[in-house]
Amino acid sequence: MNVERLSKRLSTVADFIPEGAKLADIGSDHAYLPCHVVRAGKVPFAIAGEVVEGPFQSARKQVEMEGLTKQIEVRKGNGLEVIGKGEVECITIAGMGGALIASILEEGKEKLEGVKRIVLQPNISAISIRLWLLENGWSLINEAILEEDGKIYEILVAERGNSESVYSENIENQLLFGPFLSKEKNEAFIQKWTAEWNNWERILKQMSQSSQIEKKTEIQKKISMVKEVLGQ
């Protein structure tokens, strides 16, 4: 992967960034994503935020190598503290756990003023993000799921609005599986949830002699939910 050729995962994230939007990429690592969209002329200005010194220096070096220092600012800081109110219109956060992404959004709530779209790619626990969006006045407008190098990634796109209208009566299922993804049920979706189902079945077998009735019931419920969404 490089600036010219993003990974399939980051390329999909880039596709959801609105044309002409000022961007903040949080946890930018090598700053490949902001460099790519600025070089392509999709966005006029970007901030690459990093909290760890190594990736922060890597991002600075990459931006300098690309000759984009006037259009991309690399800033060191935790989460959304690297941006000012009203400074950007789109925020991307990719490659972290869903719970961590949700906590970054929660802790930086006041920095979301003026932001029109957030594009989020959790490695695990997308449900944590869907719950945060639902509770904080952000509406899912799209989702994607894809497989790359043996891993499956979900991408969530949200804008300000009432998220409840996105969900049907079975909101618990859709928070877990995704209202858009569970409608489409593409190959990556089926692959992900079949693997989860098999894993939960394995855990149940291991717990056959266990007295943790509550835990067993919870796993059995999840298995039933997966069977339902996969039409099994």
pTM: 0.94
Angstrom distance (rounded) from CA 8 to CA 61? 23
Distance between start and end Cα atoms, the chain: 38
Instruction: Return the CATH fold of 8-167.
Output: Rossmann fold (3.40.50)
Residues of the chain with pLDDT below 70 are: 1
Which amino acid type is present at position 198? N
Q: Which of 138, 84, 78 is nearest to 111 (CA)?
A: 84
Strands in the chain per DSSP E: 23-26, 46-50, 72-76, 90-96, 117-122, 138-148, 151-160
pLDDT at residue 2, rounded to an integer: 73
Q: What local confidence, expressed as pLDDT, does residue 39 receive?
A: 96
Domain ranges (residues) in the chain: 8-167, 189-230
Q: In the prediction, which pLDDT does 1 show?
A: 67
